[in-house]
Structure formats: structure tokens, C-alpha cells
Structure 1
């Protein structure tokens, strides 16, 4: 794994943990558009995701320069996203869908564009995983491909949350926009980290003495269980949307 991306991911994780300490000291609500929850959860999530993608893409059959370039852009985008969210948390204003002032609009639009960049980069990695069979121990190709496939669900649900929120904001329903994403958050959260959990399972199994056939079957069962969890979150989203 490239050291730069690992260090950047760890810094983002540390940022999330530090803001958890800020929350413990400062207090305030955990939920809502203005809370310390956002720099905590986004710092941890983006940091873990960056470290995960840097590791998992090492199994993809693609040129080193191309992979390194895409990862560098991805890392920079993660920093911008967490930085914007953290800035707005300290200013005590919403980070997403906030069009109250020109500055808030600029931050909100930057985060939205950054989200679009994330979608493009992660989709490119996902396509690459299906174009050429990933390398790695037994079950890893299936885990990597399944992880990226489920990640596309997370990207789609994230895009849907932003799109719905922007529409509500533009039509004068600012408060409704802040609460419109609640139904999709479980689906987004569950599907976001399949790209870590499934390859990690394959890697852990490679440390055992079990046969390749057994390890592949266990990974397949893991994929099925994760797919069921994503489906359940999807059903819940549909019923509560």
C-alpha cells in the first residue's frame, strides 16, 4: 500500500477520533444537520475507506501509474470532503445542502462536486475489477468484485440523497432537505464498507490451513450474507422513504 495514502487515511481517522473527544467535552446533539457527529463519522468513514481502497486496488490488474494517480486524486478528494464538513461543524452551520450564504453555498457545492468525483473514481475501480480478474488468494477475486459491486449501491444511494436534498433546497424546503436523507442512510452505511469486510474475510482465510475450495465457499457465503443485509436495508429505505 502506498505510504502517502495510508498516512492520509490515518490522519482522517485521527481527525474523527479527535472530534469524538470534542463532542465528549462540548456536548450538544448527536443527530441533526449541526452536530459533532458529522466530523466524527465522516472522518472515520473516509479515512477507513481511503485505506481500504488503497489496499484492495493492489489486487486489481491495472498499471501502477494509473492506479497511483487515481488514488492520489481520491485521497485529495477525501481530504476536501472531511475538511469542508469539519469546517462547517466548527462554524456551527450545516455542511450539506446549506445555501444560506454565498460562503455556505460554495462549501456545499464543493462537497457535492467532490462527491461526484468520488463516484467517478470508485466506479472506475469497480469496472476495472470486472474487466480483469483480480489477483490474490482463494476467494479474493470474488470478494473484491462483490465489494466493489456493493460499493456501487452505496454510491447510488449517496447520489440519491444529495439529489433529493438539492431539489428540496431549491424549491424552498430547506428544513425538509436536512431530514430527507434519513431513510437512505442505513443502506448507504451498510453498503459502503463491503469493499473492506469481504476482502478482509478472504485475507484472514488465507492465513488458515483450509483448502482453497473451502475458503472460496466461505467467502461466497459471506458475500451472500452481506447481500442479504444490503437488501434488508434497501427494503427498509423503500418502506420509510
Structure 2
């Protein structure tokens, strides 16, 4: 089965995918298209790219959440966990991604900040729903991370290390995201609204770099499986790649702490 996955074409993989995987990939594609569409909106409408109110947020969140959703649907197929459990987690994850991107996009069109915005009752409801959605993301992705360590994942040479390392680094992204929200909420509640909007900037590089390790490392393992390299060579390359990624995460973390 795993060897068939390595040699199958994209259409064949789509036909053999389970309904939850198809739903997740289709939803992720829609979120990516939403991000690209808002890039066009930014090109036409203009305005600042940085700051709490800009078209950057629906662009970057649409692209990032869409790519992450498709990635999770793919990489979790290598995890050894119950089919029903994985299906339930994937469906919930897809719904949560839609909630997050939808709330951010709505507020962008309303020309108000999406996160940490307590100006009105409606803004507070949106902000809190995004915070709760973020908490749900942490729980769901942590469940996949635990599954990757409980049982050795399947896949070609290097894939088990790639998955375990990718999910471990992903937990760093979740922790940094939670830290940004917690710091921002604290400043908002203590009357420092403007400071709250700017407080997330130092941790954004760490959050961004660590978020996509779960795509980059497994993708490398998959690409190497299509070469003539021996298993020992592929394992060494993967070990080196993991080491380089860890250095990048540490570097962005040190930079964030130094500028916090």
C-alpha cells in the first residue's frame, strides 16, 4: 500500500483518498484561492500591507491555513491511528480552518482588526471565536503529534523522522501562537490596545518558520523516495535537513526573544 502511494499519480491518489481527505484538500484549495483573491484585492484597493488592519491578513492566513490543511490531510495518512479517529480530527480541523480564515476575512472587509479587538460586542465575539478556534487547533494538531510518537509512522525511508520532527516543531509554532494571543489579550485587558496589536511582531518569524516544518520535511522524504539514492543516504540527508530546520527555528526564536 505504501509503495503504491509512492508511485501513484496525483489523479490516482485523489481517487483512492478517503472522503475526509478529499474534503480537507478541497477546503484547503478554497482557502488558498481566497488568499490569492485577496492579493488581487490588495493590488486594486491598496492600503498598508503591515498593521492590524490590512489585506495582508486574509492573504497570508488564507494561503497558510489552506496549505496547512492540505498538508495535514496528506501527512496524517502515514500515521498509525484509527480511521474513525483520524476522520473526526480531520473534519474538525477543516471546519476550524474555515472559522479562522472566515473571521479574519470578515474583519478585513469591515476594515477593523480581527485579533485582540474588543471595541464593540460584535468585534469581541469575533476575536474570542478566533481565540477559541486557535485553542481547538492546538488540541487537534497535538493529537496528531502524539499519534506520530506513539507508533512509528509508515512511509519511505526518512518519512518517520520527517513526520515526528515536523510535528514536534509544529508544537513550537502552536506555543508561539498561544504566547502571542496571551500577551495581546493581557495588554488589551489592561488598557493598552495599540501595544497589543504590535506585541505579536517579535514572535511572528518563529511562528511562521516552525509552522510549515510538517510540510517541508515530509515533502523532502517523498521527493527522495523518487530518486535512486540508497536508504542510508536518504536517512543522512533527512537527519541533516532536520538539524538545519532546528537551527532555523532556534535562530528565529532567539531573534524574537531579543526584540520582544
TM-score bucket of the superposed structures, by smaller chain: over 0.9
Moved over 2 A (4+): none
Match of 2:181 in 1: 162
Deviation at 1:187, TM superposition (A): 0.2
Aligned residues: 241
DSSP-derived class of the 1:34 partner = coil
Which residue among 65, 80, 105 is the counterpart of 2:124? 105
d(CA) in 2 for partners of 1:6, 1:44: 13
Deviation at 1:138, TM superposition (A): 0.2
d(CA) in 2 for partners of 1:99, 1:34: 14
Q: What CA deviation, in whole Å up to 9, does each residue of 1:98-131 have, x standing for no partner?
A: 0000000000000000000000000000011001
Match of 1:232 in 2: 251
Q: What CA deviation, in whole Å up to 9, does each residue of 1:155-186 have, x standing for no partner?
A: 00000000000000000000000000000000
d(CA) in 1 for partners of 2:24, 2:203: 29
Deviation at 1:211, TM superposition (A): 0.7
Match of 1:204 in 2: 223
DSSP-derived class of the 2:139 partner = helix
Q: What CA deviation, in whole Å up to 9, does each residue of 1:57-101 have, x standing for no partner?
A: 000000111101100000000000000000000000000000000
Q: Which runs of 5 or more structure 2 residues have no equivalent in the other structure? A: 1-16
Aligned alpha-carbon RMSD (Å): 0.4
The aligned runs of 1:35-114 (5 Å cut-off) are 35-114=54-133
Match of 1:29 in 2: 48
The aligned runs of 1:111-150 (5 Å cut-off) are 111-150=130-169
d(CA) in 2 for partners of 1:227, 1:41: 23
d(CA) in 1 for partners of 2:23, 2:158: 28
Q: Aligned pair 1:191/2:210, yes or no? A: yes
d(CA) in 1 for partners of 2:163, 2:23: 22
TM-score (norm 1): 0.99
Q: Which runs of 5 or more structure 1 residues have no equivalent in the other structure? A: none
TM-score (norm 2): 0.92
